[in-house]
Amino acid sequence: MNNDLSKLMKQAYNQPETGLSADIWRVIEVKQAEGLKIKSLSYGFIGILSLGGFVLMSVSIVKQLSTSGFFQYFSLAFSDGSLISVYWKEYLLSLSDSLPVASLGVTFFLLFSMLVSIKKSIEQYKNKLLIS
Amino acid sequence: MEEDYLLIKKYLDGDQASLKMLIDKHTPSIYNFTSRFVGVDQAKDTTQEIFIKVWKNLKNFDVSKAQFKTWIFTIARNTITDYLRKKKSISFSSMGEDNFIEETIKDESDLPDEIFQKLQDKEMLNKVLEEIPALYKEVLMLHYQEDMTFKEIGEVLNKPLNTVKNYHFRAIKKLKEICTKV
């Protein structure tokens, strides 16, 4: 009886109008394109912001390094090597003290987000090519 | 026709045509299921909505946890429930589950000949399917039209196997009642 009821039920199948799956596919294609556009714009925006921030932070770091005496400590390594070999611990401590750690952290973060957004933009571009 | 999981894998690897094939393959059954609950006028839009959800969530589909067919029908069921809720119609769960008691399941799928004769008429069958409570109707549709096992229906409904068998028992009983009345 299972088969009989199955047969009957299948006869009562409501068939969709022709072209429904093509319509669905078209809607998905449009949504895919929209999604790619939004993602590309977002990654582009993040990339540009990161690049701007990276440039500004790099300039600021150079200024901070020169005011903190980092360059003077660093040049010591090339001018008086024997003194540094004796007081290398103190030298390294002074050198690290003169580094603007927080600014360097922010700069590396900006550099990282810039690289990620470039990678993602390339991925979006590849996806766009696949869809088209 | 290629297996669903192969089509999904291919699509996730970048083959757009596989998604199109997947849509072509499942559109008739999803449309049929949807049209019985939201009506033919609304079925096209709801079917479209279901496939958009499927497309958006395809990355999360886990082949090891569920079959694509049960997964897509679960999405269809949820979408239909949302639509009926918005329309303030009664949802699946509130239909037909009154005074639910676990009964000893016997094979109640035997339909008398006279009822079979009545159901041969497509209009009559449509009328019966219209009148039958949604919860029972979906069990009948998934079992007899989509050839799903009770276990698979349980996955769609998120109910244990015995509950599904009970729904089926009650669905057949209801079908007999309606046929006898008409």
Compute the distance between CA of residue B156 and CA of residue B71 in angstroms, rounded to an integer: 7
Closest residue in B to A131 (Cα–Cα): B16
Q: Tell whether B40 and B79 lie within a shared domain.
A: yes
Average pLDDT over residues B65-81: 93
Q: Tell whether B10 and B71 lie within a shared domain.
A: yes
Is residue B8 within a helix (H) or strand (E), and if so which, with residue range? helix B4-12
Average pLDDT over residues A12-34: 92
B147 in contact with A, Cβ within 8 Å: yes
Query: Which residues in chain A have their CB less than 8 angstroms from residue B44's CB?
Result: 16-17, 20, 23
Q: Tell whether B82 and B147 lie within a shared domain.
A: no
Question: Is pLDDT at A33 greater than 60 in this prediction?
Answer: yes
For the stretch A74-108, pLDDT in tens is 888 788 778 778 888 888 888 888 899 999 999 99
Compute the distance between CA of residue B120 and CA of residue B71 in angstroms, rounded to an integer: 32
For the stretch B150-169, pLDDT in tens is 999 999 999 999 999 999 99
Q: Between chains, do A9 and B111 touch, taking CB under 8 Å as contact?
A: no
Contacts across the A-B interface (CB distance below 8 Å): 84
- Tell me the average pLDDT of chain B: 86
Best of B29, B31, B125 to disrupt the A interface (most A CBs within 10 Å) is B31
Query: Which residues in chain B have their CB less than 8 angstroms from residue A11's CB?
Result: 122, 125
Average pLDDT over residues B2-15: 88
Least confident of A19-28, B81-90, B104-113: B104-113
Q: Residue B28 corresponds to which tokens in the numbers above?
A: 């008739």
Average pLDDT over residues B21-45: 95
| Widest pairwise Cα distance in chain A | 100
Q: Tell whether B23 and B82 lie within a shared domain.
A: yes
Of B16, B44, B48, Cβ closest to residue A131: B16
Number of domains making up chain B: 2
Of A13, A24, A130, Cβ closest to residue B23: A24
Compute the distance between CA of residue A50 and CA of residue A110 in angstroms, rounded to an integer: 5
Instruction: Provide the domain limits for residue B153.
Output: 113-181
pLDDT at B91: 55
A30 in contact with B, Cβ within 8 Å: no
Compute the distance between CA of residue B179 and CA of residue B111 in angstroms, rounded to an integer: 10
Compute the distance between CA of residue A7 and CA of residue A59 in angstroms, rounded to an integer: 78
What is the predicted ipTM?
0.81
d(CA A132, nearest CA chain B) in Å: 10
**Count of C-beta atoms within a 10 Å radius of residue A123:** 14
For the stretch B50-66, pLDDT in tens is 999 999 999 999 888 88
CATH number at residue B75: 1.10.1740.10
Average pLDDT over residues B30-58: 95
Task: Give the end of a domain, one of B42, B70, B86.
Answer: B86
Q: Tell whether B117 and B170 lie within a shared domain.
A: yes
Question: Which pLDDT band holds residue B49 (cuts at 50, 70, 90)?
Answer: very high
The upper half-sphere exposure of residue B111, i.e. CA atoms within 13 Å in the direction of its Cβ, equals: 26
Question: Is pLDDT at A118 greater than 80 in this prediction?
Answer: yes
Q: What percent of chain A stands above pLDDT 90?
A: 43
pLDDT at B109: 57
Residue whose C-alpha is closest to residue B176's, from B122, B131, B135: B131
Closest residue in A to B39 (Cα–Cα): A14
**Domain annotation covers residue B38:** yes
Q: Tell whether B81 and B128 lie within a shared domain.
A: no
Transcribe chain A into DSSP letters: -HHHHHHHHHHT--PPPTTHHHHHHHHHHHHHHHHHHHHHHHHHHHHHHHHHHHHHHHHHHHHHHHHHTHHHHHHHHHH-HHHHHHSHHHHHHHHHHTS-HHHHHHHHHHHHHHHHHHHHHHHHHHHHHHH-
Q: Tell whether B8 and B63 lie within a shared domain.
A: yes
- pTM, two decimal places: 0.76
Compute the distance between CA of residue B162 and CA of residue B103 in angstroms, rounded to an integer: 9
pLDDT at A5: 85
B52 in contact with A, Cβ within 8 Å: yes
**Domain annotation covers residue B118:** yes
Residue whose C-alpha is closest to residue A63's, from A4, A36, A103, A105: A103
pLDDT at A60: 94
